[in-house]
Structure 1
């Protein structure tokens, strides 16, 4: 039976990192990326722990094993993960409903991943339902950015209610979509 909760232990954070490592774009073929999606950022245990101390990550577990996760990141983590700083800077320029994103009290989905054997079974949607239930009364919305070439992720996020509010091309040539889920 799959349970949905928040990360509380060192073992759970280590399992998140193991799942993340299996799904990093740098270790996947172009065929795997196209069919299954990917994650971009490799977090350190320390970064994951610091983020979890501010707001706990949402996880799905089966038989005491993390099979999916949604990382919770707030503006307090802005300087903790340097590769994400440009995203936070964009939030100071991009607008949503006539206000800069940075002027809202928002929750960043730091990353989402479902283990390969559990894809297509509703785990992604259930994780996001739990994420919303945990954070909707504290934050105005959830926001994240997704590479355009990650169509599986873009489609899944659209299905649960995210909308693209901005697109841009990063200095490395990768096109990104900033997507927002207004609760």
Structure 2
């Protein structure tokens, strides 16, 4: 029986394991069939950027002993210009979220293939909420329409679509989880 524990990322080793899991599940590194069935991640972060983001607000991770088996990145709006592909998302979020509301962006979520269908996705989000709801009213992220598994999983958590837009031929859903 696996015992998964949830925590905030705190070591370079954990950030390197996030990067490894990210590369293993990147849309460029998996088949079309796997993308449809398992979902995928789009953005690749350098360990240096993961470290900067983590210093500002630590990422949420799931571990099986010393092995990182899942992550949910925390991305503050101060990083909106660090990843070019995410700039349009941040611009839209700033237009959509009322100025008197606070939000944080879930930068990416991923669970190791060998650990899926065990509740880790849901538990990562529950821990995320427990850790950050005292500081933020909303959790916002975006998902490509071509990633139906991820859309369905996020809707089951409580995310609602607040905007659909197209950028560089890809249709994106901006989704929001209201913690108020």
Q: Where on the TM-score scale, by shorter chain, does this alignment land: which range?
A: over 0.9
Equivalent position to 1:107, from 96, 104, 107: 104
1:79 CA displacement: 1.9
* 1:44-68: CA deviation from partner (whole Å, max 9, x where unpaired): 1111000001100000000211000
TM-score, structure 1 as length reference = 0.93
Alpha-carbon contact 1:73-1:110 (below 8 Å) kept: yes
Equivalent position to 1:119, from 116, 141, 161: 116
Q: Which runs of 4+ in 1 moved over 3 A?
A: none
Alpha-carbon contact 1:47-1:81 (below 8 Å) kept: no
Distance in 2 between the 1:64 and 1:92 partners? 38
SS of the equivalent of 1:43 reads coil
1:81 CA displacement: 2.0
1:30 CA displacement: 0.7
Q: Is 1:182 aligned to 2:170, yes or no? A: no
Corresponding residue of 1:130? 127
Distance in 1 between the 2:126 and 2:149 partners? 19
SS of the equivalent of 1:137 reads coil
Distance in 1 between the 2:9 and 2:85 partners? 23
Q: Is 1:173 aligned to 2:169, yes or no? A: yes
Equivalent position to 1:151, from 141, 148, 157: 148
Alpha-carbon contact 1:164-1:179 (below 8 Å) kept: yes
Structure 1 segments unaligned to the other structure (5+ residues): none
1:92 CA displacement: 2.8
Structure 2 segments unaligned to the other structure (5+ residues): none
Q: Is 1:89 aligned to 2:53, yes or no? A: no
Distance in 1 between the 2:139 and 2:157 partners? 12
1:82 CA displacement: 2.3
Distance in 2 between the 1:57 and 1:168 partners? 27
1:103 CA displacement: 5.1
Alpha-carbon contact 1:70-1:111 (below 8 Å) kept: yes
